[in-house]
Structure 1
Amino acid sequence: MNVRIELTYKTPKGTEATFRSDEMYVGEAILIAEDLEKTGRKKDISFIDNYDASLTLKEMKQFMKGIQTEPHKITVYFDGGFNVETYQSGLGCAIYYHQNRKSYRLRKNALIDELDSNNEAEYAALHLAIQELGLLNVANIPITFVGDSQVVLNQLNGEWPCMEEELTKWADRVEHDLENLGITPSYKLVSRKGNKEADQLASQALKGIEISSTKET
C-alpha cells in the first residue's frame, strides 16, 4: 500500500505549518514519520491512503504487522508471444513480492493453442499473472503491472478504445478478476528491453520449455 504523510510542524516560537508528502510505500512512510518524531517539533502526523482515509502512526504500524505475513509490495511483469505459423502462444510472467521480511521472485510461463493474435497473447499473459496472484492469496492491495504492449496497457488505462470483440472479452476478464481479488491496478509501459525477463519466459514457452519457480531474491 502507498500513502502520503500529512504533517503539522510547530516551531519553538509556536508558528505552525502543514505539509503533505508525495505518495510512497507505507514502510518507507513509517520510517520517515518515526524520524520526524525525533525532532520533537511535529504537532500532528497522519497517513492518507489511496481512498483518502486518514490513519495514525500507531494504526500504520499495526497494519504493517498484519501484512508482513502476506505477499505485498508487488510488481508484475508480463509478456505474450504469438507464432503465426503454428498459431501457438507463449505466455510469461515474473512476479516480485515481499513476504515475512524477505523478497521473492515467481516465474511462470505457459504454451496455449486457442488464440488468434499477438494482442490476445499479451492479454492472456496478463491473465496468467493474475491467476498466479490468486494462488498466492493476494488480495485488497494496489499492484503495478509492467508490460511492453501499448495496445493492452492503453486499453486497460482507458486511453485507447477496445474495438475488437476478442480483446474486449479479455479486458473484461482481466478487470473482473482484478475486482474479485480486490486489486487496484496501475499499469506501466516499458520497452521490450525493459521487459526482457517476461519476454524470455514467453519465448521459452513457444520452444516447449516450461518454467514454474519461486526463489528468494
Structure 2
Amino acid sequence: MQIEIIFTYQTPGGIQAEFRSQLMDVTHAIATAEDLEKTGRSIRFTFLDSDGNTWTLKELKKLTEEIQSEPHHITVYFDGGYYPETEKSGLGCVIYFQQDGKSFRLRKNLPLEGLQSNNEAEYAALYLGLQQLEQMGVHHLAIKIVGDSRVVVHQMNDEWPCYEENLLRWIKRSERIIEALGLRPQYQLVSRKENQEADHLATQALNGVVIDATKEIARR
C-alpha cells in the first residue's frame, strides 16, 4: 500500500504550515511519521492511501501487523505455450511473496486442451496465476504481474484494443478475480529470457510434467 503523509509543522513562535509527502510504502510512512513526531514540532498527522482512504497512525500500525501475517510484496510471472499441431497448451506461473518475515516462491503449471492460439494460452496462464492468489487469500494489495506477451500486457493495460471474443472472455475472467480480491495490478513487459522460470513451467506442462510447489527462499 502506498501512503501520503499530511501533517502540520509548528515553529517555536506558533507559526503553522501544512506539508504533504510523496507517496511511499506504508512501513516507510510509519517510520517517517514517528521520526517527525520526535521533533515535537509536527502535529495533526493524516495518512492518505492511493485509493483516497484516510488512516490514523494507530490504524496503519495495526494494518502492517496484519499484512505481515498474510502474503504480501507479491510478484506474479506468467507464460503460456501452444502447440497448433495438437491444439494442446501449457500454462506456467511463478509467484514470489513474503509472509511472516520470510520469502517464498510458488511454482504452478497446468496442461490444457481446447485453446485456439498462443495468445489465448498466455491469457490462460495469467488467469492461472490469479487463481493461485485467490487460493492464497491475497486481497486488497498492489501487486506486480510480469510477462513476455505484448498482447496480454498491452491489452490488460488498456493500451491495445481487443477484438477477439475468445481473448475478451479471458480478460473478463481475470478482471472479475482482480475486482473481487481488491487487487491493484501493475503489468510489466519483459523479455522471454527474463521470464524463463514461467516459460520453463509452461514447456514442462506441454510435455506432461506437472509442477505444484511452494518453498521458502532467500530474501530477494
Q: TM-score, normalised by structure 1?
A: 0.90
Partner Cα distance (2:27, 2:84) in 1: 46
Shift of the alpha carbon at 1:14?
Answer: 4.3
Shift of the alpha carbon at 1:141?
Answer: 2.3
Distance 1:130 1:15, change over 3 A: same
Match of 1:189 in 2: 189
Distance 1:139 1:3, change over 3 A: same
Deviations 1:3-34 (A, max 9, x none): 22223333444454433333332122222222
Distance 1:40 1:191, change over 3 A: farther
**Larger deviation, residues 62-71 vs 39-48:** 39-48
Shift of the alpha carbon at 1:206?
Answer: 2.0
Match of 1:77 in 2: 77
Secondary structure, counterpart of 2:18 in structure 1:
strand
Match of 1:105 in 2: 105
Q: Verify the 8 A CA contact 2:37 2:43 in the aligned structure 1.
A: no
Distance 1:209 1:13, change over 3 A: farther
Aligned amino acid, residue 116 of structure 1: Q
Secondary structure, counterpart of 2:154 in structure 1:
helix
Partner Cα distance (1:40, 1:192) in 2: 53
**Larger deviation, residues 18-27 vs 113-122:** 18-27
1:133 aligns with 2:123: no
RMSD: 1.9
Question: Paired residues, what number?
Answer: 217
Match of 1:32 in 2: 32
Distance 1:9 1:198, change over 3 A: farther
1:175 aligns with 2:179: no
Distance 1:29 1:120, change over 3 A: same
Deviations 1:152-174 (A, max 9, x none): 12212211111111011111111
Partner Cα distance (2:35, 2:167) in 1: 49
Secondary structure, counterpart of 2:208 in structure 1:
coil
Partner Cα distance (1:153, 1:54) in 2: 31
User: Which blocks of at least 5 consecutive residues in structure 1 are unaligned?
Assistant: none
Match of 1:41 in 2: 41
Secondary structure, counterpart of 1:110 in structure 2:
strand
Match of 1:199 in 2: 199
1:61 aligns with 2:57: no
Match of 1:115 in 2: 115
Partner Cα distance (2:88, 2:22) in 1: 44
